[in-house]
A and B are shown apart, each in its own frame.
Chain A
Amino acid sequence: MPEFEPRIIAFCCNWCTYAAADIAGTSRIHYPVNVRIVRVMCSGMVDPMYVLKAFEKGADGVLIAGCHEVDCHYLNGPLKCDAMFAKLKRVANALGLGDERLRREMISTSESPIFAQVIEQMVQQLKSLGPSPLREGVKV
């Protein structure tokens, strides 16, 4: 049977991480195909609901990535995102969803290699973890 291919949803802020992913492209930095990027204007825009929705719909891992505090386009987006993320973790934890499936990163435009790296790592990690326990209930 084929190797398990985890599915990752990456919420990326338009100004930093999404741009970093673009530059990863222009500079042909290859990374696993498992990731699907959702473009948001700011990491502070990510509602915990979106993340749970992703898991509900069968994601194995979710990445929320945006600017570093210093280069936020909206002053304090990253801080707001961190607050949301902390809450999210507690809920996810109650659900028995391991920490490894949720990842929060700050990746600036110039850090496209890091973006690729993070995806690489997540894929490896999730492969070893196996499918998300929340996957079964996915309605197709």
Chain B
Amino acid sequence: MNLEDIIKETKTYYCLECGKCTAVCPVSRHNSNFSPRMMLERALVGFQNELIHDRELFSCLTCYACSKLCPSEVDYPVFTQKVRNLASGEGEHGDCTHSGIIHTLMRLMSNSDIKQKRLDWLDGCRTSQKSEVLYFVGCAPYFEPIFEDIEVSPINIVRNSIRVLNALGIEPMVLPNERCCGHDLLWTGDVETFKKLAQLNVEMIKESGAKKIVFSCPEGYRTFKIDYPQYVKLDCELVHITELLVQDLSKLSLHPRAKQRGSKLGAKIVTYQDPCRLGRHLGIYELPRQIIKAIPGIELVEMEHSCEESICCGTSVWTNCSSCSKEIRVERVSEAKATGAELMITACPKCQIHFKCAMVDKGAEKGPDVKMEVMDLVNLVADAIEEGK
């Protein structure tokens, strides 16, 4: 796909150069070198080289804050995605975080004959081989060791997801050799490998005979729901765990937390961070809130920016995590603290990783205190169910 097509596909032609996009963009606010409007501008005047070799191409969070306001409905995130594809052809990958180990892992997963050992954490979860419901685990088994040092446990989230499903009377199946959904590769422009991963996943799912796939990770959900169809065919019902929960909230006996048992569910007042994939990408704002409100003894307060206007966790797809993205996170955490909440709930493991990471301050000379408890919605629910037992 060349720049022409991209411009067509993303309605860039219609750009009015009104600059709303840049005005609302969290990155632009902290990084003057980055402007969605200017990017489009370049594309329109055909400065392809300049465009794809600009490091800021990989600074975009593809959080959809811009497009939501765009009077011409230019799909800037997809524009970015496609242009990055062009860029990666020229060896541009942006500044990969963690030395790029995560992208490499994903690429490695695209090998058809690997036999992963990714399910050594299933204890306490009831799964079944011939269930119609498949739970898509995602990257948790790989993130676990990598983010140990910032005390985030993605495994804990997926384990709790299954427990929650169990509580709903579902014993899902999990794929022992599941592959990365490819989200991050797609959004960093490696469409090739993305396709491979998609095919591998789809094949396995078909073999498994699953009819319904449940996701706890918004990125996986978005990828299957919106991106896969463009490359592979899969007819399965796709649901996000929040959707399931909301239907059957009544089935669960949710209890206010007891202080003991070091339950993570510590706060009375909580606030909710909308993950961009779940929120602006898929329009799921209310469900998580309903679930939180359904838990007794917890009061939900909203941040200054929430739902459609909420601010992203500051970095995405493991590239260009810069001082700017730190500032975005610090700003967001401050917003959360300002609500008086003791706990920030989010529905995306990456939000949690990025916020926790922004709180690391190991130097002798300390910075402003942005420490705050961050926790996944699923864990919150799981704890509330635990209390019931």
B98 located at the interface, meaning its Cβ lies under 8 Å from any Cβ of chain A in the complex: yes
Closest 6 CB pairs of A and B: A49-B99, A90-B145, A137-B111, A96-B115, A49-B101, A52-B104
A56 located at the interface, meaning its Cβ lies under 8 Å from any Cβ of chain B in the complex: yes
B114 located at the interface, meaning its Cβ lies under 8 Å from any Cβ of chain A in the complex: yes
Contact A93:B117 (CB < 8 A) given known A56-B107, A87-B146, A137-B108: yes
Q: Which residues of B contact A38 (CB under 8 A)?
A: none
B104 touches A53 (CB 8 A): yes
A112 to B111 alpha-carbon distance, docked (Å): 37
Majority secondary structure of chain A interface residues (helix, strand, loop or mixed)? helix
B99 touches A94 (CB 8 A): no
B111 touches A91 (CB 8 A): no
Q: Chain B nearest CB: distance from A11 CB in Å? A: 14
Among the listed B101, B114, B196, which residue makes an inter-chain contact with A133, where contact means beta carbons less than 8 Å apart? B114
B112 touches A56 (CB 8 A): no
B110 touches A137 (CB 8 A): yes
Size of the chain B interface, CB-CB below 8 angstroms: 25
Q: Chain B nearest CB: distance from A26 CB in Å? A: 34
Q: Could you write out 13 A-B pairs with CB less than 8 Å apart?
A: A47-B99, A48-B99, A49-B99, A52-B108, A56-B104, A94-B117, A95-B117, A96-B115, A96-B116, A133-B111, A133-B114, A133-B115, A137-B107
Interface size of A as a range = 20 to 34
B123 located at the interface, meaning its Cβ lies under 8 Å from any Cβ of chain A in the complex: no
Summed over the interface, the residue pairs from A and B with CB atoms below 8 Å come to a total of 62
- Among residues 87 to 120 in chain B, which have CB atoms less than 8 Å away from a CB atom of chain A? 98-101, 104-105, 107-118
Q: Which residues of B contact A49 (CB under 8 A)?
A: 98-101, 104
Q: Beyond the given A52-B108, A94-B145, A134-B111, could you list 10 further A-B residue pairs with CB under 8 A, ordered by the A residue number?
A: A48-B99, A52-B101, A55-B108, A90-B144, A91-B101, A91-B145, A96-B116, A133-B113, A133-B115, A136-B112
A96 touches B107 (CB 8 A): no
A96 touches B114 (CB 8 A): yes
Q: Chain A nearest CB: distance from B126 CB in Å? A: 22
A96 to B179 alpha-carbon distance, docked (Å): 12
A56 to B141 alpha-carbon distance, docked (Å): 19
A54 to B329 alpha-carbon distance, docked (Å): 34
A68 to B116 alpha-carbon distance, docked (Å): 33
Among the listed B98, B101, B118, which residue makes an inter-chain contact with A94, where contact means beta carbons less than 8 Å apart? B118
With both beta carbons as reference points, the residue of chain B lying nearest to A52 in the complex is identified as B104
Among the listed A47, A91, A135, A137, which residue makes an inter-chain contact with B142, where contact means beta carbons less than 8 Å apart? A91
Q: Which residues of B contact A136 (CB under 8 A)?
A: 111-113
B116 touches A48 (CB 8 A): no
With both beta carbons as reference points, the residue of chain B lying nearest to A131 in the complex is identified as B113
Q: Which residues of B contact A55 (CB under 8 A)?
A: 108
A55 to B101 alpha-carbon distance, docked (Å): 12
A67 to B196 alpha-carbon distance, docked (Å): 41
